[in-house]
């Protein structure tokens, strides 16, 4: 059935799924999946969610990944390379798993990313040959240090740098220094996720949850970050999340295929999951991407892992062509936020 442009989430019925069977299958997955199902789909009591989340460091994928950190605090022997076993990508994966923060191993690595990566222009530069910060990586590092609640004044410098790098069309492009004037979806989603994690940590810090000092200089960019995200989301929506704003054609078929983890790459599920996490309101320009997500659901109510990106990994969580708990989890919470007809 079609998802009509004039329908709002309030009027669209919930997806008709074999819900109990699918949720049970999800709940029998890794702790990194289980706690998110409890929080986002089952709406379990917070103490139960917290207890389930704490298992990430002690069982399954989270435990395995933490065990691979070397005594010097690095993963894979490097800060950003090799892909996908470096410190940056290992921390990105732990963030997506939901490893509770703060965490001592993660915070040790966060310190290394800032110590070795902070550049004089305010962003992150891990390269010995490039004389400027890299916007995608700066967004990644901001998402990591913000998520893991790493308190350091250099975090504010990263935010300032990214706000200055925002382009006239609302997005970001790591090649803007070469003269590019149109934003990149890849750069934009990395920055948006970084700003979102900063905003979330800002809300925690400004509140009474951890005794944040309202008079200090931490998280001083909260209001600016909110506006920057609105403009960044508008850039993606102007492209209906995956179409050329000029021709209307799909500009890269890969971004309509479901993968996990996304690494540095943009795709429609990553974008929609960011939109729902950031509390972005429904917009009819999401419809085309939502319809793709709906059509990819299999007869048994699940979603497959359709592709993985080439590169060395420590271990594979799921196999291409088989049902994916990561993609099923994300699809269900996206459709819960932005209901579509099946």
Q: Would you say residue 291 has pLDDT above 70?
A: yes
Burial of 284 (0-12, 13-18, 19+ CB in 10 A): middle
Secondary structure (DSSP) of 285-322: GGHHHHHHHHHT--TTS--B--B--SS--S--SS-TTS
Q: Would you say residue 266 has pLDDT above 90?
A: yes
Q: Is 107 left (phi over 0), alpha (psi -120 to 50) or beta?
A: alpha
Q: 250 pairs with which residues across the strands?
A: 243
Q: Would you say residue 170 has pLDDT above 90?
A: yes
> Cα separation of 66 and 139, whole Å?
23
Query: What pLDDT band is residue 257 in, cutting at 50, 70 and 90?
Result: very high
For the chain, what are the domain ranges?
1-33+244-342, 76-238
Cα–Cα–Cα angle for 21, 25, 31, rounded to 5 degrees: 145
Mean predicted confidence (pLDDT) in 309-332: 98
pLDDT on residue 10: 41
* Mean pLDDT of the chain, nearest integer: 91
Q: Residues 181-223: pLDDT tens digits? A: 899 999 999 999 999 999 999 877 655 344 444 445 567 788 8
> Cα separation of 218 and 211, whole Å?
13
Q: Would you say residue 9 has pLDDT above 60?
A: no
Q: Which CATH architecture has domain 76-238?
A: Alpha/alpha barrel (1.50)
> Cα separation of 114 and 105, whole Å?
15
> Cα separation of 144 and 200, whole Å?
12
Instruction: Establish how many alpha carbons lie within 13 A of residue 317's alpha carbon, considering only the half-sphere containing its beta carbon.
Output: 26
pLDDT on residue 127: 95
Q: 259 pairs with which residues across the strands?
A: 307
Q: Would you say residue 236 has pLDDT above 60?
A: yes
* Nearby residues of 26 by Cβ (< 8 Å), 6 or more positions away: 33, 34, 37, 41, 325, 328, 329
pLDDT on residue 185: 98
> Cα separation of 195 and 159, whole Å?
7
Q: Would you say residue 11 has pLDDT above 90?
A: no
Q: Would you say residue 59 has pLDDT above 90?
A: yes
pTM: 0.91
Q: Would you say residue 7 has pLDDT above 60?
A: no
């Amino acid at each position: 059935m079609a998802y009509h442009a004039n329908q709002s989430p309030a009027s669209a019925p919930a997806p008709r799924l074999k819900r109990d069977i699918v949720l049970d299958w999800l709940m029998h997955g890794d702790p990194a999946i289980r706690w998110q199902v409890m929080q986002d789909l089952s709406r379990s009591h917070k103490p139960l969610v917290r207890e389930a989340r704490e298992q990430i460091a002690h069982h399954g994928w989270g435990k395995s990944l933490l065990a691979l950190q070397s005594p010097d605090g690095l993963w894979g022997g490097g800060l950003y390379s090799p892909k996908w076993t470096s410190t940056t990508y290992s921390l990105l994966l732990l963030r997506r798993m939901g490893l509770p923060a703060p965490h001592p191993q993660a915070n040790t690595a966060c310190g290394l990313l800032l110590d070795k990566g902070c550049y004089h222009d305010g962003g992150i530069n891990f390269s010995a040959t490039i004389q400027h910060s890299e916007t995608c990586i700066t967004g990644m590092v901001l998402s990591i240090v913000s998520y893991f609640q790493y308190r350091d004044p250099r975090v504010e410098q990263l935010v300032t740098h990214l706000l200055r790098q925002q382009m006239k069309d609302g997005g970001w492009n790591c090649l803007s220094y070469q003269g590019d004037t149109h934003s990149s979806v890849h750069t934009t989603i990395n920055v948006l996720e970084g700003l979102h994690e900063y905003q979330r940590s800002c809300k925690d810090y400004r509140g009474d949850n951890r005794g944040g000092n309202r008079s200090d200089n931490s998280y001083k960019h909260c209001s600016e970050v909110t506006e920057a995200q609105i403009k960044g989301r508008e850039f993606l929506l102007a492209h209906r999340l995956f179409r050329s704003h000029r021709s209307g054609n799909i500009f890269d078929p890969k971004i309509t295929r479901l993968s996990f983890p996304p690494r540095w790459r943009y795709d429609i599920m990553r974008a929609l999951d960011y939109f729902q996490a950031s509390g972005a309101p429904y917009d009819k320009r999401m419809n085309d991407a939502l319809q793709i997500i709906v059509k990819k659901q299999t007869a048994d109510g699940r979603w497959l892992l359709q592709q993985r990106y080439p590169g060395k990994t420590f271990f594979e969580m799921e196999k291409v062509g088989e049902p994916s708990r990561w993609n099923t989890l994300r699809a269900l919470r996206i459709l819960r936020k932005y209901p579509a007809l099946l």
